[in-house]
Structure 1
Amino acid sequence: MTVPMPIPEQTGLDALRAEIDSLDRQMQELLIRRFEVTREVANLKQSQRSQNNWRPSRQAQLLRGLVERHRGTCPQTALIRIWQEIMGASLALQGPFSVGVAIADTGDLWDIARDHFGNVAPMGLIGPAPQVVGAVTEGDIAVGIVPLPNDGEEMPWWRLIGVGNDGETPVRAVARLPLFGAEGARGNAAIDGFALARLTIEPSGQDRCLMAVETSQEVSRGGIAALAGKMLPAGARVLASAIENDGRWWLIEADQFLPVESPSPFATESQIRHYVHLGCYAAPYGA
């Protein structure tokens, strides 16, 4: 009986498949060990009674490093998605953690929230953005996702954050989403949003700061934009405004990290009645 000789191409293909199987097993073993270390971190945090399980600045640093080191044919979007799933699952193991998503008239925030926190983190729709702020304030959820605001909203969520009771960490903007784009969103439904939480603000190395200032109603958008450009030379933009009593509040995003305890960059400007630091967060990648 004649034994057929293996086809060289088939032999090479079998060898490559065997190598892929071996690599998959090695990757799984590394993943198992990573989650063992995550559990050790969780135990240490519990012993220290730490409530700051999510560190958005560290997440941004890890993802930036991942992208900057990357090479080869694996799509960057797939690489980011894999690691966001790993980090989201790790976060869920470290203690109670849940995400509340605002229902926004301007688009769908669910996709960018799920992309950022992965499929393991508990997530649910809450209601309008002010209701999300209330849920974060009361501790009903760890993180709230709210939309990029518009001018003239009746109750803008950004007027409800940045100020807390004595000794309490206030709700602040701690991330802007999407951090790396929203390629997986359904059509054009996804919109930009902010993640709100009661966390200590930490720099990531490439950051933005959100602030609110009050002026008289006579100050124009162009006027406040010019003033922000002068007082925040790294770059700034006006995102929204809202009339309150006899004044107008402006939401400004600056291209720099400003510590919460730092003085107002508008302290010398008589046009500014009040200033509120609303948070800092990693700048979206490539922005």
Structure 2
Amino acid sequence: MPDQTPTPPAPSPVMPPSPQNAAVEAVPTDQSPDQPPPALPQAGDLAALRGEIDRIDTAMHDLLMQRAGLSAHMAASRAKGTAPSFRPGREAAILRRLLARHAGPLPRGVVVRLWRDIISSSLAQQGPFNMAAPGTAEGVEAQLARGHFGLLTPLKLYPTPSRVLSAVASGEATVAIMPAPAEGEPMEAPWWVQMEAPRLQVVAGLPFLATREGAEPQAFVVAPIVPEPTGRDRTLLRLEPEAEHTRPRIAAAFAAIGLPTRWLLRRDLPNPMALAEVQGFLAPDDPRLASLPFQRIQILGAYAEPETEDLPA
């Protein structure tokens, strides 16, 4: 948002939008932040300043009601057809567009928090949406789930990651919030080994707004949908290496086809398995994957690169 208050549109009654207006949700638009702002009251005139804030609050509320009306109309008219209402790629594009035009003293984190709640409310209007996560309510995954999808989105906790994946696979939950893979995971098969791909896919990394540049996601969102490219993405791949495929050799094989790995994990028990992350969005039919020297390779999904709370200096 600009640091000077733009002239808001005149309040209008919330009417059921027309089918033509329903398409607005699918095509983000922007208005120039360079419009001249209205003259503000003097700093010492607190009553006038508060009145201006009240006027802006009313205009913002009108727009929120109009937006909710569009979402409700889309749900009622089935404007999206068979397409999923949950589109994390589009959500990332919305937030990136807003962050790119943002200016002024309002922190970027507040912008993301506001729009995450708006987006989650819209999801709830489109149909049932709930989350599953391993651990307890105080755990990292539960906290990230609440931070991304909002406090009002139902969350069910399970004792193990495998049970969480089962909940999503069976339709008991809409999305799973899984811990980010890491060195030193428990000896039992990690969730990325058990995940039923391509039916289930990684579609988002959490948090979307990182505290610092270069920070890695702390959790991944898994859902039974196909990820969409956003222009700046990362792809996760699961492969079955031979015994001689050490981590350096696996990394070299990816680099040889122009896909250097950002990070790489390997598990040897009970069977050799590896997980690699590469820069960019890969489709399953990408011809480069066929030249890799592994018995089997699967794309486990892709997610939008995170933004940062502060712009790089």
SS at match of 1:195: strand
The whole-number CA distance in structure 1 between the counterparts of 2:93 and 2:80 is 26
The whole-number CA distance in structure 1 between the counterparts of 2:101 and 2:255 is 34
1:18-97 map, 5 Å: 18-45=51-78, 48=81, 50=82, 52-97=84-129
How large is the Cα RMSD of the aligned pairs?
2.5
Identify if the C-alpha distance between structure 1 residues 213 and 9 changes in structure 2 by more than 3 Å, giving closer, same or farther: closer
Match of 2:302 in 1: 280
SS at match of 2:227: coil
Q: Which runs of 5+ in 2 are unaligned?
A: 1-40
Aligned AA (1:274): R
Deviations 1:55-78 (A, max 9, x none): 000000000111110011111111
The whole-number CA distance in structure 1 between the counterparts of 2:238 and 2:60 is 46
Correspondence 1:206 to 2:229: no
Correspondence 1:123 to 2:123: no
1:173-252 map, 5 Å: 173-181=202-210, 192-233=218-259, 235-245=260-270, 247-252=271-276
Correspondence 1:159 to 2:193: yes
Identify if the C-alpha distance between structure 1 residues 103 and 27 changes in structure 2 by more than 3 Å, giving closer, same or farther: same
Runs of 4 or more consecutive aligned structure 1 residues displaced over 4 Å after TM superposition: 8-11
SS at match of 1:216: coil
The whole-number CA distance in structure 1 between the counterparts of 2:284 and 2:241 is 21
Q: 1:257 aligns with which of 251, 267, 281?
A: 281
Match of 2:7 in 1: none
Contact between 1:162 and 1:277, CA under 8 Å: does it hold in 2? no
SS at match of 1:109: helix
Aligned AA (2:193): R
State the Cα distance separating 1:224 from its structure 2 match: 1.4
The whole-number CA distance in structure 1 between the counterparts of 2:50 and 2:69 is 29
Contact between 1:116 and 1:178, CA under 8 Å: does it hold in 2? yes
Q: Percent identity?
A: 33
Deviations 1:89-131 (A, max 9, x none): 1111110110111228xx6112211111112211121221111
Match of 2:171 in 1: 139
